[in-house]
Amino acid sequence: MQDLPHHYHVNASAEVDGNVTLKADDLPQLVTASPAEFGGPGDQWSPETLLVGAIADCFILTFRAIARASKLEWTRLECSAEGVLERVERVTRFTTVTVRASLTVPADTDRDKAERLLEKSEEVCLITRSMLAESHLEAEIIVAD
Show pLDDT as tens, one digit a residue, over the chain (145 residues): 899 999 999 999 999 999 999 999 999 999 999 999 999 999 999 999 999 999 999 999 999 999 999 999 999 999 999 999 999 999 999 999 999 999 999 999 999 999 999 999 999 999 999 998 888 999 999 999 8
Q: Which pLDDT value is given to residue 99? A: 97
Question: What phi, psi does 55 have (nearest 5°)?
Answer: -65, -50
Strands (E), the chain: 11-14, 20-23, 30-32, 76-88, 91-105, 134-143
Instruction: For residue 69, give its domain range.
Output: 47-143
Residue 94 lies in a domain: yes
> Distance between CA 79 and CA 13 in Å, rounded?
31
Residue 69 lies in a domain: yes
Residue 100 lies in a domain: yes
Number of folded domains in the chain? 1
- State the burial class of residue 67 (Cβ atoms within 10 Å of its Cβ: 0-12, 13-18, 19+): buried
CATH, residue 103? 3.30.300.20
Q: Is the peptide bond before 35 cis (omega within 30 degrees of 0)?
A: no
**Does pTM surpass 0.85?**
yes
Q: Which pLDDT value is given to residue 1? A: 85
Residue 74 lies in a domain: yes
Residue 82 lies in a domain: yes
Residue 138 lies in a domain: yes
